[in-house]
Structure 1
């Protein structure tokens, strides 16, 4: 959506940035009456708190499935409200979002599981412990039985991110050059293939998809052809793992 992010309160005259507070209420007096001072710009990234402290506090008392249900709900709300265009500027696909969306998928598996082995439970608890700090377990720690949850989570994250890339491009009335367009299309195809596989790909493959997305962002935002080429090369190397 397009908004005027720089606001001035008509009651007390305080000026603030919606992009920083995420609120239309005046931070000084609480009034909801304000006017925009700048031009409308695209803004999809809503301010939302992601705090799993209350869930973690019950780790010793609650069943793991109950913890998973609560963690899943927190993660779903966070992911639902997040975006990647802030005040007209395209942001990177960040670790906070990736950790949250992975927790969403892993917690869903755990919540529905009849039995869990030790590695699955420890992996879920690792995500629960650090996801709201934007930390993700390394690829070598992903249990085989949960690799599809991670793969599908990252494919869905990149799919949502790609939509905001399109929004950002269209809002800026930017014409993609052939290399940028073909790389974006290749990224889209890989996302479709991973989702068709229900995320059942090696964790390194899912991580490479994220790395390629970040390279593409750098290339688009900084007019860096080398970064676009890095993204293209990463995506080309994924071909064999997605056969």
Structure 2
């Protein structure tokens, strides 16, 4: 959607940024009566922060016991997130990636008849670090969780790709769009395989997406070259 990101309160004349707060109520007096000022800009990202503190202590006792409520909160957060903020293209950030991986990881854990300690510790490490954007390194991913990461990252990057494509409608860049299409073909393959790809490949796709976004925003040809090279090495 396109909105005027700055609001002016009709009651007290206070101005604030909707992009930063996500609130339509005036932060100074609480009035709901305000008007938009300035130019409209495309905006798809919520300002809400992820807070899973209510689930952490209980998960130490039993992940299965908190799984449903935890997945509900993660889905709510992910649905509100986007990658265009006030007309600016944003990268797929680590908190978003870790949140989607946690969503899939919890699902894998509770469906497994005999989840082992490595799986449990991995899910707990995701839960404990997700709000800070702590993503476990590829070598730390248990084999039983690698597909969960692959599918989570593919879904994340597809959401990013859709916003990126929308952003390019107002900031056309044929080279970026062609490379974005190449990224999309790789993501189709990962999703067709239900995420069952090497974790290093998932990380390469994230890096390529971020490099491509840097090129589109800043015009840095080296970032475009890096993204293309990274994607070509994936076959």
> TM-score surpassing 0.5?
yes
Match of 2:79 in 1: 80
Gaps of 5+ in 2: none
SS in structure 2 at match of 1:5: strand
**CA separation in 2, counterparts of 1:163 and 1:60?**
36
| Pairwise CA distance, 1:167 | 1.2
1:199 corresponds in structure 2 to 195
Give the Å deviation of 1:72: 1.8
Relative to structure 2, which stretch is displaced further, 80-89 or 180-189?
Answer: 180-189
- Alignment correspondent of 2:38: 38
Residue 130 of structure 1: aligned partner:
129
Report the secondary structure of 2:7's partner residue.
strand
Provide, for residues 9-49 of structure 1, a one-character-per-residue CA deviation record: whole Å limited to 9, x for no partner: 00111110101111010001111110111111100001223
**CA–CA distance in structure 2, aligned partners of residues 142 and 59 of structure 1:** 19
Q: Is the 8 A contact 1:110 1:116 kept in 2?
A: yes
Q: Is the 8 A contact 1:69 1:107 kept in 2?
A: no
Regions of 4+ moved over 6 Å: none
Secondary structure at 1:38 match in 2: strand
Instruction: Describe the shift of the 1:136–1:24 C-alpha distance in structure 2 as closer, same or farther (beyond 3 A).
Output: same
After the TM superposition, which residues 146-225 of structure 1 pair with which residues of structure 2 at under 5 Å, given as runs? 146-170=145-169, 172=170, 174-177=171-174, 179-225=175-221
Q: TM-score, normalised by structure 1?
A: 0.93
Distance 2:113 2:190 in 1: 26
- 1:114, CA displacement in angstroms? 2.3
Q: Check whether the contact 1:120–1:143 (CA below 8 A) recurs between aligned residues.
A: yes
Contact 1:11 1:31 (8 Å CA) reproduced: yes
**2:60–2:124 Cα contact (<8 Å) kept:** no
| Structure 1 portions without partners, runs of 5+ | none
Q: Partner residue of 1:9?
A: 9
For residues 60 and 137 of structure 2, what CA distance do their matches in structure 1 show?
25
Partner Cα distance (2:87, 2:224) in 1:
21
